[in-house]
Amino acid sequence: TRQQKSHLEHYYSNNMAAFQLTVTGVRNAIIEDILSDTMKREK
């Protein structure tokens, strides 16, 4: 039904937002690790 479809789309878009936040967080953590390693090497 249409109601079910809109519910699924809502659920899907919420999951995508959470997924993108997780990906961004992981990417930032990796970048910070690389930067801190580089800083340690330069000292």
The mean pLDDT of 14-39, rounded to a whole number, is: 95
21, amino acid identity: L
Reported as a single tens digit per residue, the pLDDT across 9-23 is 988 899 999 999 999
Is the per-residue pLDDT at 32 higher than 80? yes
pTM, full prediction: 0.58
Long-range contacts of 31-39 (CB under 8 A, 24+ apart): none
Helix (H) or strand (E) holding 36: helix 2-42
